[in-house]
Structure 1
Amino acid sequence: MDAIFALMPQAVMASDWMTSLQGFMQQGGQVLWWLFAVVLMGWLLIVERILFLCFQFPKHSQQWIGYWKDRSDQHSWYARAIRDGWLCEAQSQLNHNLNVIKVLVTICPMLGLLGTVTGMISVFDVMANQGSSDPKLMASGISLATLPTMAGMVAALTGLFFHARLVKVCKMKQLKLEQSLRSQR
């Protein structure tokens, strides 16, 4: 029974967190949900790339280096063509989905701007229908309309950082593999 009560504050915290997230998303409008979907897809691809770089690529790299070490002929045109084929395959594997991540990062601020424009249209529509030019009403409506832009910029900045790091790590791994395959024997 004590274990149940010990978990209750965590469940309440998670519930509060979900409630605030839902409130934020409702304030930002429909476009904020689209932005959420784009960000979620981008982060799934980033995590996939990180897992690939940590677990799968080192296995492939060691396999290619092992095959190259086991070759008796490393200097013929045919041997160099095989090595170049492995390097092209490595480059393809390393750069897989990086362009998709870049496109998703680029879409984020545009979706945020779209959310702001649609939010401002609805604010002006409400003001026109009510015939009110109350500055407090305008300020609150404008602040709610700018939430998608803020969310889009934050998503783009974090995505841009991780994309740049992934590109750098992929180039380094490719260069390291190329040096390992060229320096044998």
Structure 2
Amino acid sequence: MLFLEELFDTVSRFLEAGGDVLWFIAAALVFMWSMIIERLWYFSFTYPKQARLLVAKWESRKDTTSWHAHRIREAWISQMKEKLHSGLLVIKTIVAICPMIGLLGTVTGMVNVFEIMALSGTGNARLMAAGITQATIPTMAGMVAALSGLFISSRLEYSANVHAQELADHMPHH
């Protein structure tokens, strides 16, 4: 229990030092990772069942060689590709936006530094330090948030393309 209290205290001080912009980064991070976990769940558990059913449906067709059958196959594969890629663009967009939110924190922190300089002059380094901290922490947090999703979003996109190709390979047309 003491560990959780210390962790909560550390996170609270970090959020306070970084300013209100960190809450937006945290919200984007939670949303992004929720979507990533959903996609991982889909690829691991839901998609394999759907793919098996679709392949079985294709194999149970009497006609797999006509022009009409080929268009049905293409439509089914296209529908599965759409399901596989669902949400990936949103994840990639959040990855791209996180550093921008961090830069917003940098701007607001620097505005605070300039306000302190205007009120107290340039000689009070202690007062300026809080503003500089508020300017650098959101930038770092935005970059870390983006990096945490960058690799996995690329991997998810690759997996979606591989699954779509494998599905097409399992539905032969003659």
TM-score range, shorter chain: over 0.9
Q: Could you tell me whether the CA contact under 8 Å between 2:32 and 2:94 is conserved in 1?
A: yes
State the shift of 1:101 in Å: 0.7
The equivalent residue for 1:127 is 117
- What is the rounded CA distance, in whole Å, between the counterparts of 1:32 and 1:86 in structure 2? 43
CA offset digits 1:102-154 (Å, max 9, x no partner): 11111100000000110111122012112242345434532332000000001
> How much does 1:160 deviate?
1.0
**Structure-2 residue corresponding to 1:91:** 81
**Does 1:143 pair with 2:98?**
no
C-alpha separation between the residues in 2 aligned to 1:13 and 1:64? 50
Q: Write out the 4+ residue segments of structure 1 that deviate beyond 6 Å after TM superposition.
A: none
1:108 is aligned with what amino acid? C
Q: One-letter code of the match for 2:121?
A: G
Residue 74 of structure 1: SS of its match in structure 2? coil
Q: Please, which runs of 5 or more residues in structure 1 have no aligned partner?
A: 1-10
Tell me the distance in 2 between the aligned counterparts of 1:172 and 1:54: 13
d(CA) in 2 for partners of 1:34, 1:109: 11
> Using the alignment, how far apart are the partners of 2:151 and 2:126 within structure 1?
37
Question: How many residues of Structure 1 are paired with residues of Structure 2 in the alignment?
Answer: 174
Is structure 2 residue 21 aligned with structure 1 residue 31?
yes
Distance, in Å, in 1 between the alignment partners of 2:108 and 2:79 is 45
**SS in structure 2 of the partner of residue 146 of structure 1:** helix
Choose from 161, 164, 183 the match for 2:154.
164
Partner-residue secondary structure (3-state), 1:86: helix
- The alpha-carbon deviation at position 100 of structure 1 amounts to 0.7
User: For 1:16-61, what per-residue CA distance to the aligned partner results, in whole angstroms no more than 9, with x for missing partners?
Assistant: 1111111101111111101111111111111110101111100110
2-side partners of 1:55 and 1:37: how far apart?
A: 27
Q: Distance in 2 between matches of 1:129 and 1:140?
A: 15
Comparing 69-78 with 138-147, greater Cα deviation is found at 138-147
Report % sequence identity.
40
After superposition, the Cα gap between the structure-2 partners of 1:139 and 1:22, relative to the gap in structure 1 and judged at 3 Å, is closer
Q: Tell me, what secondary structure is at the counterpart of 1:72?
A: coil
Q: 1:22 matched to which residue of 2?
A: 12
Instruction: Name stretches of at least 5 consecutive residues in structure 2 with no aligned partner.
Output: none
The RMSD of aligned alpha carbons is 1.5
Is 2:72 the counterpart of 1:74? no
Q: TM-score, normalised by structure 1?
A: 0.89
Q: Which amino acid aligns with 1:66?
A: A
